Amino acid sequence: MAALYKLIKKVPEKEYTECFIKFAEAHAGQAMRRKAVSRFGTSVKDETFNLNLFWNTIFSPEVPERLRTLSMESLSRLVSKDSGLREDYISNAGTNIVSGTMFESSLEVLRKLGFTTALISGYGHPPERKFDDFMRTHCVIALAVKACAAFHGAIRRNFVPEMAKTIMGQALDGMSVGAQARLYLDFLHEACTVCDSVGLSQSDIETIWGCYVGEPFCEEHSGVFWETLMKEKKETRKYGFFNSTKALVDFFDSYLANSTRFAARKMTAQGLQCFRKYFEIVNGVTSDSKSVSRRPDRLKGVDMVWKLAIECDSSAIRTQSASWLIDMNFRYMLSIGAEKKLVVLHFMQTAFLWTHSFPKPALSLLQAFILRYIPKSSSYSIESKKPPASLPWTRRTFPPRPSTT
């Protein structure tokens, strides 16, 4: 084992390959199994396991991103079952974060070794309380949000529309723009999930929203935010970055359903999925429920649904939103028959108001509503295009026209 360790150590970084990283992981794993590892008998500096090879690779700008990612995964697997080694590496990463040294890579180490492992292992994992103390004492959330804003500011200063299709794949400080954009959100999300004493402040949410949704580089860039927002926490805190239902409702009212902050015409497919999920959570309405207990025009965020059904640049989004809006009204009418006329009247009045600024989509929405409503309220079927059988049919004859000769 010692001879093999020396051979592995002699390989220069520029010659690292995926096979080499996997081989080094297998060697380190075998060495760790042979030697009983204890918290006090072994530290990060113990070279017999060659763990520093993975650590150095993670922070090396000369190594391709895919190899750094593979090294991170290897190190995570090797130390996951030994809390002593794991805490040592987490401590080193925390020191780097506080000092600003290799900040993004250190965030990834802390996320992967700390938060991700805690989530996989479940709540009550031993280092969890230490994370709380560390995150709170050193204001790591604020540091991560500040770094996220600085990163996006640096990209945006040199951004031109022609870069939109390739921006997420471009390299910056050895890491692609897309990987860094995702890293900040993943770190913040998992930190809020694992640590009870930390969370995003209103200013933090404002900053993140501005970075990813206010001025996105491309649809894929904003998609990173929607994808993270869709993740649910375990146990009682279920809604992404938010520690309470009130915080989620405030976010929905201030951002998702606020047309001054969020332009409906720019909505994407991922954004619509996220908006609908939070709309249903906030209003207590699920897509599989057969009835709606509140009038649709009184639901939070329904004005944004109207905007999506009429204003959105994407025809697919308009169609989905229109179908959702009509379905919402009909489910309410089926459950509360007494207010059916009020619902129909309000829907038609609202649609007519929209015809002044967006005549074509507004009339299309109104037509779709009428076509669905008439078969439910009358025995006459538009699809058959035949008169009802109950109406009499009388053949009438007329006298011949008199001759003029």
**Tokens 């509360």 label which residue?**
336
Non-local (6+) Cβ contacts of 133 within 8 A are none
249 and 369: one domain?
yes
In a domain, 70, yes or no: no
> What span, in angstroms and rounded, lies between the C-alpha atoms of 47 and 69?
21
- Residue that the structure tokens 């009212």 belong to: 253
**Do 232 and 136 fall within a single domain?**
yes
DSSP code per residue over 114-135: IIIHHHHH-TT-TTHHHHHHHH
In terms of domains, do 331 and 238 share one? no
Number of compact structural domains in the chain: 2
Residue that finishes a domain, picked among 186, 210, 243: 243
- The pTM of this model reads 0.76
Residue 103: count of CB within 10 angstroms of its CB: 19
Residues 146 and 173 in one domain: yes
Rg, the chain, Cα only = 30
In a domain, 382, yes or no: no
pLDDT at residue 292 in the model? 57
According to DSSP, the β-strands at 175-176 and 171-172 are antiparallel
pLDDT in tens, the chain (405 residues): 667 767 887 788 888 888 988 888 888 888 777 665 443 344 444 555 678 888 888 888 888 888 888 989 888 888 877 777 888 888 888 888 888 888 888 888 888 887 766 555 544 444 456 667 777 777 888 899 999 999 888 888 877 777 777 777 777 666 788 888 899 998 888 888 777 777 788 899 999 999 999 888 788 888 999 998 888 654 444 456 777 778 888 999 999 999 888 889 989 999 999 999 889 888 876 555 544 567 888 889 999 999 999 999 999 999 999 999 999 888 887 776 667 788 888 898 999 999 999 999 999 999 999 888 765 544 444 344 444 454 454 555 555 656 665
Please tell me whether residues 194 and 208 are part of one structural domain. Answer: yes
The reply to whether 334 falls in a domain is: yes
The boundaries of the domain holding residue 191 are 120-159+167-243
Same-domain status, 279 and 174: no
DSSP assignment letter at 161 = G
Task: Answer whether residue 200 is part of any domain.
Answer: yes
Same structural domain, 221 and 283: no
How far is Cα of residue 201 from the mean position of the Cα atoms in its chain? Answer: 18
pLDDT at 130: 65
DSSP classification of residue 41: T
pLDDT at 100: 82
What DSSP element (H or E) covers 176? strand 175-176
User: Are 281 and 209 within one domain?
Assistant: no
Three-state DSSP class for residue 172: strand
Q: Are residues 358 and 325 in the same domain?
A: yes
* DSSP per-residue codes, 325-356: HHHHHHHHHHH-GGGHHHHHHHHHHHHHHHTT
Distance separating alpha carbons of residues 342 and 295, to the nearest angstrom: 9
Choose among 220, 207, 213: nearest CA to 149: 207
Residues 312, 252, single domain; the answer is yes
Of 243, 264, 283, which closes a domain?
243
DSSP 260: T
Residue 58 domain flag = no
Of 92, 186, 192, the C-alpha closest to 135 is: 192
What is the phi-psi region of residue 235: left when phi exceeds 0, alpha when psi lies from -120 to 50, beta otherwise? left
Q: Is 339 left (phi over 0), alpha (psi -120 to 50) or beta?
A: alpha
Statement to judge: residues 198 and 212 lie in one domain = yes
Residue 56 belongs to a domain: no
3-state secondary structure of 251: helix
Does some domain include residue 25?
no
Q: What is the pLDDT at residue 37? A: 46
Predicted pLDDT at 318: 94
Does residue 258 sit in the same domain as residue 349? yes
Does residue 349 sit within a domain? yes
5 closest CA partner among 59, 49, 46: 49
